[in-house]
């Protein structure tokens, strides 16, 4: 077994998945999901348990995630809920709804001058962090032995979490007007994110995904990525007690791929709006898996026939390159028709047999 296969086995990759990652003849191109909002909404529709209760109750939360796995038989599940976990733990207020994930309502601080008021939260006590940790524990105790999936815990990326703590507008302004204080904030938040990620790993998560959409080139320039995102993502990946992470950055990311793949211990990049051929070329011989990049809007709005064609095009574009998994570019939107999700997965099975 090669070192890389050994490394993937450590995460719980099945032999079938490993062969798919290496594009071995007879294997199939793997397909995975990032799904949180979709699961919570589906679980609400199925059980009547409101979304605000699902996201605050580990038992409901893990069931909502596992239902997706039972239904679609995906191999990797990211227990992605919403991207306000860290900001809420720092004191931000959210708006909780009955059918969808909570949304930001009031940031934890109004100004960078208040940064010293921020206390680093305790992952076992503050906000909904204990719920996410408990969900990882329930996965390990109740589901792990019975399923072949890889359960990824998750944390927000430092830019995404910090911008929700300070408010996105204030954060973006601060990048230009007060970079020193922004670094101070990012440093504090990074410490909290590492503790939260390690607590999930300790509780039973097989791996960690980092969701960092606010660091995309849709939101900040590649230079700002270099100064404000890269060093903190690097620190997180080094300090998490896992050999590698999945980093998800949706939106436009072509200008930062080169930097992104230099973040140590990054083993899956989950991409959205990129040119796959260029991205795979940039990665070259490095062992980094690309997950992408069917738009969740396409999955929500298009017909199964169109989705089949788009998925087929992606498979043909990537061909026998390997180190690629089919994946929506972001969290599946609530209400995405089941037949569309099946069209995506079935197209993977139909056209993704190697050699392509
Ligand atoms: Zn996303």
Output the CA 271–ligand 1 centroid distance in Å: 8
Asked if the 3-351 domain carries CATH number 3.20.20.210, the reply is yes
β-bridge mates for residue 28, sequence order: 353
Q: What is the pLDDT of residue 128?
A: 97
Output the CA 270–ligand 1 centroid distance in Å: 9
Lowest-pLDDT range of 34-38, 93-97, 256-260: 34-38
Residue 228 — very low, low, confident or very high, per pLDDT cuts 50/70/90? very high
CA atoms within 13 A on the CB side of 17: 23
Output the CA 328–ligand 1 centroid distance in Å: 9
Could you give the CA distance from residue 218 to residue 252 in angstroms, rounded to a whole number? Answer: 5
Output the CA 248–ligand 1 centroid distance in Å: 6
Residue range 263-318, pLDDT digits in tens: 999 999 999 999 999 999 999 999 999 999 999 999 999 999 999 999 999 999 99
Could you give the CA distance from residue 255 to residue 105 in angstroms, rounded to a whole number? Answer: 31
Output the CA 137–ligand 1 centroid distance in Å: 25
Q: Which residues surround ligand 1, an ion (CB under 5 A)?
A: 213, 250, 330
Q: What is the pLDDT of residue 69?
A: 82
Output the CA 116–ligand 1 centroid distance in Å: 30
Output the CA 113–ligand 1 centroid distance in Å: 30
Q: What is the mean pLDDT of the chain?
A: 95
pLDDT at 11 over 70: yes
Domain boundaries, the chain: 3-351
Pick the residue with more confidence: 258 or 77? Answer: 258
Output the CA 291–ligand 1 centroid distance in Å: 12
Residue 245 — very low, low, confident or very high, per pLDDT cuts 50/70/90? very high
Residue range 207-218, pLDDT digits in tens: 999 999 999 999
Identify the DSSP state of 140: I
Rounded to an integer, the average pLDDT of 320-326 is 96
pLDDT at 36 over 90: no
Residue 147 — very low, low, confident or very high, per pLDDT cuts 50/70/90? confident
Indicate the burial class of 214 (C-beta count within 10 angstroms; 0-12, 13-18, 19 or more).
buried
Output the CA 251–ligand 1 centroid distance in Å: 7
Residue 1 — very low, low, confident or very high, per pLDDT cuts 50/70/90? low
Integer-rounded Cα Rg, in Å, for the chain is 19
Q: Which of 136, 164, 143 is closest to 58 using CA atoms?
A: 136
Is 236:200 a contact under the CB 8 Å cutoff? Answer: no
Output the CA 209–ligand 1 centroid distance in Å: 12
Rounded to an integer, the average pLDDT of 125-130 is 98
């Amino acid at each position: 077994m090669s070192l890389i296969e050994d490394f993937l086995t450590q995460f719980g990759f099945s032999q079938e998945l490993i062969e798919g990652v290496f594009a071995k003849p007879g294997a199939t191109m793997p397909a995975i999901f990032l799904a949180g909002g979709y699961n919570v909404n589906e679980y609400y529709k199925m059980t009547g348990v409101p979304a605000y209760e699902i996201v605050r109750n580990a038992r409901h939360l893990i069931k909502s995630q596992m239902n997706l796995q039972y239904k679609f038989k995906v191999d990797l599940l990211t227990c992605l809920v919403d991207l306000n976990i860290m900001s809420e733990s720092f004191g931000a207020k959210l708006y909780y709804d009955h059918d969808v994930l909570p949304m930001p309502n009031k940031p934890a601080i109004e100004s960078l001058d208040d940064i010293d008021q921020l206390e680093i939260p305790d992952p076992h006590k503050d906000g909904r962090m204990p719920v996410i940790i408990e969900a990882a524990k329930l996965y390990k105790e109740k589901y792990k032995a019975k399923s072949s999936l890889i359960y990824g815990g998750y944390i927000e990326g430092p830019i995404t979490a910090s911008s929700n703590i300070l408010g996105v507008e204030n954060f973006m302004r601060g990048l230009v007007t007060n970079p020193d204080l922004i670094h101070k904030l990012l440093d504090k938040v990074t410490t909290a994110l590492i503790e939260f990620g390690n607590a999930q790993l300790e509780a039973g998560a097989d791996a960690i995904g980092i969701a960092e959409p606010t660091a995309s080139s849709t939101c900040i320039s590649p230079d700002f990525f270099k100064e404000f995102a890269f060093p903190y993502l690097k620190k997180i990946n080094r300090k998490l007690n896992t050999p590698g992470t999945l980093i998800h950055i949706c939106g436009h990311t072509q200008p930062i791929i080169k930097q992104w793949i230099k973040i140590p211990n990054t083993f899956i990049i989950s991409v959205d709006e990129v040119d796959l051929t260029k991205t795979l070329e940039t990665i070259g011989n490095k062992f980094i898996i690309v997950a992408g990049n069917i738009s969740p809007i396409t999955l929500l709005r298009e017909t199964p026939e169109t989705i089949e064609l788009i998925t087929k095009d992606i498979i043909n574009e990537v061909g026998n390159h390997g180190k690629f998994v089919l994946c929506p570019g972001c969290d599946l939107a609530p209400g995405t028709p089941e037949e569309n999700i099946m069209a995506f997965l079935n197209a993977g099975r139909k056209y993704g047999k190697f050699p392509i």
